[in-house]
Amino acid sequence: MFQGTSYSHIFFIICMIALSVIIFLCLIRAILGPRFTDRIVAANMISTKVIAFICMLSVFLREDFLIDVGVIYAMLGFVGVVVLSKIIQVREKAEKLRREREMTPGSVEIIDKSDEEAKD
């Protein structure tokens, strides 16, 4: 356990409870978010708050391995946000191309069959 005064114990417990409440509020925001980007931001906030919670718990319990867990969790959170952002970017490009094709009246789609004919 953390060797300190009773005030430091109370401080750590209050901070951990506050972080837990903030994480819960971010979870509600992630569920109720009207857009996908709101959900990604909320997930990133949850990841950041959990890392802070793990680091505080490491100091409180005097366990060094929890810092390693926090670093790994940070890397996973970063990779997750980057992947989800890339998915959004690809989805928006596809949606934009679809809208452009729908908006041009009388357009004719040209299909290149030279590759198929070359195989025959």
What's the pLDDT tens digit per position in 29-60?
989 888 888 888 898 999 999 999 999 999 88
41 closest CA partner among 49, 30, 32, 31: 30
Q: Is the pTM of this model over 0.75?
A: no
59-87: per-residue pLDDT in tens? 888 888 999 999 999 999 999 989 988 88
